[in-house]
Amino acid sequence: MIFLSPGLQAEDDGTEITVEGYAAQRDNLVKARDEAVLDAIRRGVEQVLGGYIDSRTILHNFNLIEDSVLSKTRGYVSNYSIIDERKDRNMLVVIVKMTVKEEDIEDDLQAIKLAIQQRGNPRVAVAIPEIDGNNLRPSPVETKIIQKLSSSGFEIVSRDIYDNSQQLSLLHEIIGGSTQYVLDLGNWFDTTYLVVGESKPEFINEYQGLITYSYQSKVEVLNADLSHVISSHSENEKGVHIKSDQAILEAADQTGKIIAEQVFNKLAEDVSASGHTIRVILNGSDFSELEFLKRRLKAIRLTERVFMRSFENNTITFDVVTGLPTYNFAEALNWWDLDLAIEKVSSNIIRASFED
């Protein structure tokens, strides 16, 4: 039962919002309505909570926030009222207007701020070889990017790709534009993001004892699970010295600094966006159920948008933008008794099949 009284007057200022709540409707309509209102209250608090913390905090500190803030959602609502109610097949939908006490949320968040800041970031693999004839070796640009990301708190996956001909072959294909190999290389590294590319020094000229080299590097930042290119970068800086190797190092250093900053900015932007994308692959689906399934996915809390990506051979693929970690989203998939068997859960992919 709900322990809030509709129409209760707020004792202090708060944020007034209108939110939908959902509940599975079975035999007990009163219980379903209570559950839907509680769901709306929780969503309302999450909505206000999003103004204080970004999705990266939600993704990597979900259990902390679940225990410290979201478990007390009813205490943050000073009053509410149901302004509409409708039935959607086996689901009850209520529209609730409520006042959420932002000050109380902010106070509780401050208490766990330090712990949130100490949590980790997504895993990143960096492979940007320097091409020297038929030889490949780690480039100075690769080193610069690793240093920048490590110092900024990203977890770098350290695995020697240069002694593995099979994985080097995949890297060559990806650098050449074949994104279908991104998932394979990402699985080998066991990583969320890939930063890949190639670098090459080039002699410019020698004048009055000074040698000039340029150092060109082309780099892509990719989401490994989704085989998605987040950004592309290309720089070509020069270095001048009386020794060739020093001229190359100077040029590489300048190129590496510029690209490392660009890569860091793009990764930071991606992980702190309003939500991350999960690809949900549902086998044994019926196309007639498409809109029904979209609504069910959208009803999962912290879900922002749902896109139908494809339908082929009774398999529907959705891209879902959500603040929930992938594992928690997978747990919520059976919320509406969809009879799904979860077959795979990775950083950004959920694969499931409808049970017979």
| 32 vs 222: CA distance, rounded Å | 43
Digit-coded pLDDT (tens) for 87-135? 888 889 999 999 988 888 777 666 555 444 433 456 899 999 998 766 7
Answer whether residue 68 shows pLDDT above 70. Answer: no
Query: Could you tell me if residue 262 is left (phi over 0), alpha (psi between -120 and 50 degrees) or otherwise beta?
Result: alpha
**Cβ count near 217 (within 10 Å):** 28
Closest to 223 in 3D by CA, of 180, 198, 259, 194: 194
Answer whether residue 234 shows pLDDT above 50. Answer: yes
Digit-coded pLDDT (tens) for 140-176? 999 999 998 887 777 898 888 988 889 989 998 998 8
Banded pLDDT at 63 (limits 50, 70, 90): low
Query: What are all long-range contacts of 153-160, with beta carbons under 8 Å and residues at least 24 apart?
Result: 153/120, 153/121, 154/121, 154/122, 154/124, 154/267, 155/120, 155/121, 155/122, 155/123, 155/124, 156/123, 156/124, 156/125, 156/126, 157/123, 157/124, 157/125, 157/189, 157/190, 157/191, 159/125, 159/188, 159/189
Closest to 329 in 3D by CA, of 355, 354, 356, 306: 306
Question: Which of these ranges, 118-127, 201-210, 237-246, has the smallest mean pLDDT?
Answer: 118-127
Structure tokens at 267: 């990764």
Question: Which of these ranges, 7-21, 146-160, 167-181, 307-321, has the smallest mean pLDDT?
Answer: 7-21
Banded pLDDT at 60 (limits 50, 70, 90): low
| 344 vs 285: CA distance, rounded Å | 17
pTM of structure:
0.60
What is the model's pLDDT at position 9?
41
Banded pLDDT at 243 (limits 50, 70, 90): very high
15-117 has which CATH code?
Answer: 3.30.1660.40
Answer whether residue 268 shows pLDDT above 90. Answer: no
Mean pLDDT of the chain: 82
| 94 vs 34: CA distance, rounded Å | 10
Domain(s) labelled CATH 3.30.1660.40 in the chain stretch across 15-117
Domain(s) labelled CATH 3.30.70 in the chain stretch across 276-354
276-354 has which CATH code?
Answer: 3.30.70
Percent of the chain with pLDDT over 90: 37
Digit-coded pLDDT (tens) for 189-200? 988 899 999 999
What is the model's pLDDT at position 341?
87
Domain(s) labelled CATH 3.40.50.10610 in the chain stretch across 123-271
Closest to 154 in 3D by CA, of 163, 162, 145: 145
Banded pLDDT at 4 (limits 50, 70, 90): very low
Structure tokens at 62: 């979900």
Q: Domain 123-271 in CATH: superfamily?
A: ABC-type transport auxiliary lipoprotein component (3.40.50.10610)
Which helix (H) or strand (E) element contains residue 253?
helix 244-271
- In the sheet with 91-100, reading across from the earlier edge strand, the strands are 15-24, 91-100, 77-88
206 and 191 in contact (C-beta within 8 Å)? no
